[in-house]
């Protein structure tokens, strides 16, 4: 048997050298803005490989990973069952441009676990799913206006880039260059968790509103929950005025619960369901895959059955659907979310206690495998409820904390405005190591920058 010709080992390069090289051929040196570390300063880490809860950069430094590819890696990196499914699918073919049984199976699995959905359309990215959900809502209602909330991010479609969160919040821009005013003239931007404001808006323009779109647990202004009364009131207003309620669960879908965030709200709002749901991240297991779904009646408006057009060459990609199906199979096992939620809660509780011991004002929250925290201005402050309050928290203190943790081998999101993620592969030892690192960093922070509380 002929021995295969193996490639020469890559020369070890530094993160700084790679970043300088990348900036010559890629704008800002990155292919997604927050990766540039502009919000926190310093040099981005170029990741060479990952396994379980860990990542290794180009210099061989290991990190406990709390980004998890921004949410998809709920099982951790390189889960054996997922890896096996992807390899087998790749051997069968990368892409066909024709239907496959596997995409039907993935749609059925999503429908099985999310009661509000009767039909699903698979796409390749959260931006594509969110953009099409808006088009579907407009097509189904015959209306033009949409409501979104300040600090919520629904992808980089033109009509939604108005006071968005995530990368735009990171750079302090309320909107994006290149978006003409007439494109966003039908987008109404309201304050998150402000019931009075949305009531007034519906009263004035309810007959023109196609939909209300929301991140139920916003992950793009860090971790901010929509209050139960707020979600309940939006549902009532949409029913009263004939608008559709769109839950953007790209981040929360299958991440905070098996039934996604909508199942969390249904515990407190009997019978609650959104009209359209948008998914991404976890359903692809780390591959480029997203989806949107609704009732059969609403989905019948989509081409080829209806007049709302949407198409995608790589939609339902056979390798991506294999990855997603294998991931969903693992997370539907009994006890999965109970264990994941307990591990995430242990992390947030540990960080909170470490901050308290150091005398640093701090608040944190979690749901399922998603978490967030803030450095507040004074002890005793509660969790932020909207974008303006998030923006008033201690950004520079977060930046110092981020770098202190990074130096100790803990990789958090490189921006105050991003949620974090725990995977099933994180062990008690990983959580303990993270909390110990945080306690060390916070002690130094307290000594060098005493709080004003």
Ranges in the chain, pLDDT < 70: 1-12, 163-175, 449-453
Q: Which of 145, 163, 281, 365 is labelled catalytic?
A: 281
Render pLDDT for 245-288 as a digit per residue (tens, 0 to 9). Answer: 999 999 999 999 999 999 999 999 999 999 999 999 999 999 99
* Fold entry, domain 15-77+334-448: 3.90.1150
Render pLDDT for 28-85 as a digit per residue (tens, 0 to 9). Answer: 999 998 899 999 999 999 999 999 999 999 999 999 999 999 999 999 999 999 999 9
Contact 44, 406 (CB under 8 A): no
Contact 64, 53 (CB under 8 A): yes
Same CATH topology for 15-77+334-448 and 80-331?
no
In terms of Cβ atoms closer than 10 Å to its own Cβ (0-12, 13-18, 19+), residue 269 is: middle
Contact 54, 434 (CB under 8 A): no
**Is the link from the previous residue into 440 a cis peptide, with omega within 30 of 0?**
no
Q: Which of 66, 153, 387, 411 is labelled catalytic?
A: 153
* Fold entry, domain 80-331: 3.40.640
- Tokens in use for 437? 């690192």
Q: What is the pLDDT of residue 449?
A: 67
- 337, containing H or E segment: helix 336-358
Q: Which of 57, 248, 365, 430 is labelled catalytic?
A: 248
Q: What is the pLDDT of residue 174?
A: 43
- 189, containing H or E segment: strand 187-190
How do beta strands 209-214 and 244-249 pair? parallel
- Angle, helices 395-407 vs 428-448, to 10°: value is 130
Q: What is the pLDDT of residue 13?
A: 87
Q: Where are the domains of the chain?
A: 15-77+334-448, 80-331
Examine the residue annotation and report whether 387 is marked as an active-site residue of this protein: no
Examine the residue annotation and report whether 395 is marked as an active-site residue of this protein: no
77-83 — which CB contacts under 8 Å span 24+ positions? 77/50, 77/51, 77/52, 77/53, 77/286, 77/425, 78/50, 78/51, 78/52, 79/326, 79/327, 79/330, 79/425, 81/326, 81/329, 81/330, 82/285, 82/286, 82/323, 82/326, 82/327, 82/330
Distance CA 151, CA 168 (A): 9
End-to-end CA distance of the chain: 72
């Amino acid at each position: 048997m002929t021995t295969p010709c193996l490639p020469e080992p890559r020369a070890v390069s530094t993160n700084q050298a790679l970043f300088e090289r990348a900036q010559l051929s890629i704008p800002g040196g990155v292919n997604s803005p927050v990766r540039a570390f502009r919000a926190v300063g310093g040099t981005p880490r170029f990741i060479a490989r990952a396994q379980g809860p860990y990542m290794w950069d180009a210099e061989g430094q290991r990190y406990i990973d709390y980004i998890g590819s921004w949410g998809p890696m709920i099982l951790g990196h390189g889960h054996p069952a997922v890896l096996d499914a992807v390899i087998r699918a790749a051997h069968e073919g990368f892409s066909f441009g024709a239907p496959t049984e596997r995409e039907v199976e993935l749609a059925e699995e999503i429908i099985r676990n999310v009661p509000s959905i009767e039909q699903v359309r698979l796409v390749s990215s959260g931006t594509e799913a969110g953009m099409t959900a808006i088009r579907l809502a407009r097509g189904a209602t015959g209306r033009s206006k949409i409501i979104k909330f300040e600090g919520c991010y629904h992808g980089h479609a033109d009509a939604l880039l108005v006071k968005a969160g995530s990368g735009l919040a990171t750079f302090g821009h309320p909107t994006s260059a290149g978006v003409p005013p007439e494109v966003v003239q039908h987008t109404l931007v309201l304050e998150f968790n402000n019931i009075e404001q949305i009531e007034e808006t519906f009263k004035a323009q309810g007959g023109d509103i196609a939909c209300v779109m929301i991140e139920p647990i916003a992950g793009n202004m860090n971790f901010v929950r929509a209050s139960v009364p707020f979600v309940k009131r939006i549902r009532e207003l949409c029913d009263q005025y004939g608008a559709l309620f769109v839950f953007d669960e790209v981040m929360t879908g299958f991440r905070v619960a098996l039934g996604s965030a909508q199942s969390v709200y249904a515990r407190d709002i009997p019978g609650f369901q959104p009209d359209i749901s948008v998914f991404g991240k976890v359903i692809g297991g780390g591959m480029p895959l997203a989806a949107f779904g609704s009732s059969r009646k609403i989905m019948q408006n989509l081409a080829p059955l209806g007049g709302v057009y949407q198409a995608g060459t790589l939609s339902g990609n056979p390798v991506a659907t294999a990855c997603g199906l294998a991931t969903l199979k693992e997370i539907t096992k009994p006890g999965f979310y109970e264990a994941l939620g307990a591990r995430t809660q242990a992390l947030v509780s540990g960080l909170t206690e470490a901050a308290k011991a150091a005398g640093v004002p701090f608040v944190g929250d979690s749901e399922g495998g998603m978490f967030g925290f803030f450095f507040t201005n004074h002890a005793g402050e509660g969790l932020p409820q909207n974008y303006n309050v998030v923006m008033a928290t201690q950004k520079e203190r977060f930046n110092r904390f981020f770098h202190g943790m990074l130096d100790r081998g803990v990789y958090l999101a490189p921006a105050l405005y991003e949620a974090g993620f725990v995977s099933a592969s994180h062990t008690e030892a990983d959580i303990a190591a993270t909390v110990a690192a945080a306690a060390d960093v916070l002690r130094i922070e307290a000594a060098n920058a005493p709080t004003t509380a």
